[in-house]
Structure 1
Amino acid sequence: MTTSLIFALIWLVMANVLAMLPSRDNHWQRAYVLIALGVPLLGWVTLQNGPWVGLLCMAAGISVLRWPVRYFGRWIGRKLSKPTSTNPAE
C-alpha cells in the first residue's frame, strides 16, 4: 500500500470521527478543513496509484462530504441555467 493511500485512509477515519462530534455550525468549518486537506491528497493518490484508484477515493470523499457537494452542485446549476426575466412586459 502506498503512502498516499495510507494518508487517504487516515483522512477518511478523521472525517468520520469529526462527523460524530457535536458541532454548533453543522460541521461546516470541519468540512472546509477536510476539503482543503482532501483535494491535494486526492491529486497525490491519483498521481501515485492511477486514475481508477483516484476515482474510488474521490467517491469515498464525496460520500463523506455529501452536503457541501450537494450545495456546490446546486450553485453550479444556478450559474449555468438560463437567467429568467423579471420584467413581465418581455
Structure 2
Amino acid sequence: MTLSLAVACLWVVVASVIALGPQRYHWPAAWGLIAVGVPILGWVTWTNGPIWGLVVLAGGLSVLRWPVRRLFASLSRAER
C-alpha cells in the first residue's frame, strides 16, 4: 500500500470519528474534510492512477453524502 492510500484510509477513519461526535460539529468538520480531502484525492490519483482515484472519490462521496446532496439541490434550484 502506498503512502497516499494510507493517508486516504486515515482520512476515512477521521471522518468516521467526526461522524460519531455531536451534530453541531458536522458541517464545520465537513468543510475541513473537503479542504483536506481534495489534495489527498489528487495525490492518490497521481501516484496510483485514475482507477484508484475514482475508488477514493467514491469513498469520499459516500462519507460526505449530505454536502453532496445539498450541492446538487442548490444546483437544481439554480437551473429553474
Once the two structures are superposed, residues 17-62 of structure 1 have per-residue CA deviations (whole angstroms, 9 ceiling, x without a partner) of: 110011325x100100000000010000000011110000000000
What CA distance in whole angstroms lies between the structure 1 residues aligned with 2:22 and 2:77? Answer: 32
Equivalent pairs counted in the alignment come to: 80
Structure 2 residue aligned with 1:6? 6
Percent identity of the aligned residues?
A: 52
Displaced runs of 4 or more, over 4 A: none
Q: How does 1:58-69 map to 2 (within 5 A)?
A: 58-69=57-68
Instruction: Show structure 2 runs of 5+ residues with no match.
Output: none
Q: TM-score, normalised by structure 2?
A: 0.93
Structure 2 residue aligned with 1:53? 52
For the aligned residues, what is the CA RMSD? Answer: 1.1
Q: TM-score, normalised by structure 1?
A: 0.83
The answer to which structure has the higher helix fraction is 2
Which one has a bigger Cα radius of gyration?
A: 1
Deviation, 1:78, is 2.3
Structure 2 residue aligned with 1:23? 23
Structure 1 residue aligned with 2:31? 32
What CA distance in whole angstroms lies between the structure 1 residues aligned with 2:38 and 2:24? Answer: 25
Query: Alignment partner of 1:5: what SS?
Result: helix
